[in-house]
Structure 1
Amino acid sequence: MTSLLDRSGREYPLGEPRWRGDDGSPLMVAALPGITRDDIDTAVRSQWRYAAALPPGLGRPVTLGEGTTPMLPLEIDGSVVHVKPEWFNPTASFKDRGTSVMMSALRHQGVGEMLEDSSGNGGSSVAAYAAAAGIRATILAPASTSPAKIQQSRLHGATVDLIPGSRQATADEAVRRSTSTFYASHNWHPFFLQGVKLLAYEIWEDLGFAAPEAIVVPCGAGSLVLGMHLGFGELLASGAITRRPRLLVAQPRNCSPLAAAFAAGAESVTAGEWSPTIAEGTAIARPVRDREVLGAVRASDGAMTTVTETDIAAATRELAARGLYAEPTSAMVLPAVRAFRQAGALRPGDTTVLILTGTALKAADAVSRLLD
């Protein structure tokens, strides 16, 4: 029977409300067999069409219609790639994929009140799905978070507490409060990754039931990297594909602990001082699943790169000039593509998918500064 596992290998019941192992490490759902195209419920117009790929014990889905975002062609310097604009999700970011599955599990487990920490998109997603699930939510966010994201969380009925200091300070405060309120962080909770992995299934279906050669993603804590790793790993296990896509990962140079660890050949990140970045959604100094993220990139024969603030700003403007209003966190995949091509990690003719994780409508203050 499927269970939860911590890093030491200890098993925990799948239906038990918990956010980390007894050893303090993050939990993962034990390996699942994956599905094939015959298991897709084609009558469902959301990511729940792939429900057969999820672990048991979720109960009735908490869904707002997340998933089934379009895949669009985009020419970059003469070569065509595919982009997935994830702002077509209900709260305008990819986080809805994970939140939908996480909230389904929490409601089924009888959790009535929960705590989340977020730099914005995760918090507004949790606020919306908590409202849909009838769960009381408190969101901790850095005081510097874009006001549009805070406004959305509050309007959904969540309590929002703004925390002075860095994004890491907010995460530390959330862990401190977890002794009194159930902590359902999108960075810690294992069922969140189960929702994000469904994006891999969707890309596979979008491409005519085939895997791309490469996927380019922005990365902070790394849930998108791990979701792609899990989803395509399951498709490989089920025989639906014959190889994993290479995971090509971008971080802002001002806050790039995972890229630094990857370049050093390390298994985990090293504590360090980082600078603020316009890509607020990726400003994670100590990602809790660092070992798993680095392992996923290496298992796919992937690569990591860093992007300067100047290039992130230019990419935001360039995508907007082409009709794609991506927040800076998302936009850094554009210069990353160019860097990966130059390094040989992307080759001519590769089928490549870029994930645009969220919209600039929710980062209005940061984007307005680009017009000055």
Structure 2
Amino acid sequence: IGELAHIGIDKVALDTAGNAGAAVAAYAAAAGIACRVYVPDDVSAERVKQIAAYGADIVRVPNGRARTMAMAQEELGAAYYASHIYNPLFIDGVKSMAYEIYDQLGGTVPDYIFVPIGNGTMLLGLYQGFEEIGRLPHFVGVQSTKCAPVVDAFHGFPRTPYRHTIAETIRVEEPPRMEAILWALRSSQGDAIAVEDGAILTAAKALGERGIYAELTAAAALAGARAFFAEGVPDNYRVIVPIPGSGLKR
């Protein structure tokens, strides 16, 4: 957003299931840039409330995430499309997570990172960061069994029919950067795993018992790690599970 303000952009639009919309709306407000946000009509009220608090115009779109993206692009007009999915500056921002993890682990790279995957931007940013550092962890992408296009593509499974899942922000039926996501998982010798919504709720409860109030999409990553290491984590493994969202957005 800072770069857009620098080059004179005064109006942006994007589609989102909530988190990116709130972030863009907040920084756009601070920069004096008008913001219009398209959201699926079944997204939680808490997410919409946060976006609205920053003065953004909100457009609710029926028929899922893919239709929301299409409508945002169709109705751009004079607005700049500020989607985090395509913008390389966003990926540059996310890659700083890799350096933060590396620094906090005392200059070492973890063995595994479990990443909730919707559009895959967190995974792609982490991949780029660790590639620059010089060593990749094994990335494991986590999705809900009710919406698991990446898991299906990674393993060559028949496409799972889309159903509603409590993990709202990874409820993406057609990830636009699917090939890049699959490349990141495979080249890191990683994996992709789908978990039931019940396992996500159980993971969220476990996080709460440790003083972490996480949104359900974030809890999905822990559910994936638990399923992947069902027989226990080897003592010498360093495993990272990012918690990218607050439970206040449930």
TM class by shorter chain equals over 0.9
| 1:196-219 CA-partner distances (Å, limit 9, x unpaired) | 111111111111122111111111
Tell me the distance in 2 between the aligned counterparts of 1:348 and 1:219: 27
Percent identity between the aligned chains? 36
Q: What letter matches 1:264 in structure 2?
A: G
Q: Hey, which bits of structure 1, 4+ residues long, moved more than 4 A?
A: none
Could you list the per-position Cα deviations for residues 192-248 of structure 1 after superposition, in whole angstroms to 9, with x for gaps in the alignment?
A: 111111111111111112211111111111001101100011111xxxxxx211111
Contact 1:325 1:359 (C-alpha < 8 Å) held by counterparts:
yes
Does the CA contact (< 8 Å) of 1:193 and 1:223 recur in 2? yes
Q: For the residues of structure 1 that align with 2:96 and 2:141, how far apart are their CA atoms? A: 19
Name which of 168, 179, 183 aligns with 1:280: 168
Whether 1:107 aligns to 2:5 is yes
Note if contact 1:116-1:140 (Cα within 8 Å) is conserved in structure 2. yes
Residue 3 of structure 1 is matched in structure 2 by none
Equivalent in 178, 200, 208 of residue 312 of structure 1: 200
In structure 1, how many angstroms separate the alpha carbons of the residues matched to 2:27 and 2:223? 33
Aligned to 1:63: none
1:229 corresponds to which of 127, 133, 146: 127
In structure 1, what is the equivalent of residue 247 of structure 2? 360
1:160, 1:105 → 2: CA distance? Answer: 23
Residue 192 (1) aligns with residue 90 (2):
yes
Question: Partner residue of 1:178?
Answer: 76
1:149 and 1:201 mapped to 2: Cα distance? 29
**2:152, 2:160 within 8 Å by CA — same for their partners in 1?**
no
Higher helix share: 2
> Are residues 1:131 and 2:29 paired?
yes
Q: Deviations over 1:118-153 (max 9, x none)?
A: 111111111101112221110011111111211111
Alignment of 1:236-315 (within 5 A): 236=134, 243-264=135-156, 273-315=161-203
- 1:210 is aligned, of 95, 99, 108, to 108
* Bigger Rg over Cα: 1
- Note closer, same or farther for the CA distance 1:137–1:271 as it changes in structure 2 (3 Å cut): farther
CA distance in 1, matches of 2:231, 2:94: 28
Amino acid at match of 1:164: P
| 2-structure distance, mates of 1:179, 1:289 | 24
Consecutive unaligned residues in structure 1, runs of 5 or more: 1-102, 237-242, 364-372
Q: What is the aligned length?
A: 250
Letter in 1 for 2:150: L
CA distance in 1, matches of 2:235, 2:143: 23
Q: Is the Cα contact below 8 Å between 1:105 and 1:191 reproduced in 2? A: no
1:141 is matched with 39
Deviation of 1:107 (Å): 1.7
Question: Which among 226, 229, 238 is matched to residue 351 of structure 1?
Answer: 238
TM (norm. structure 1) is 0.64
TM-score, scaled relative to structure 2:
0.94
Task: Provide the alpha-carbon RMSD of the alignment.
Answer: 1.8
1:154: which partner in 2?
52
Output the amino acid matched with 1:258.
Answer: V
Looking at structure 1, the residues matched to 72 and 149 of structure 2 have their Cα atoms a distance apart, in angstroms, of 21
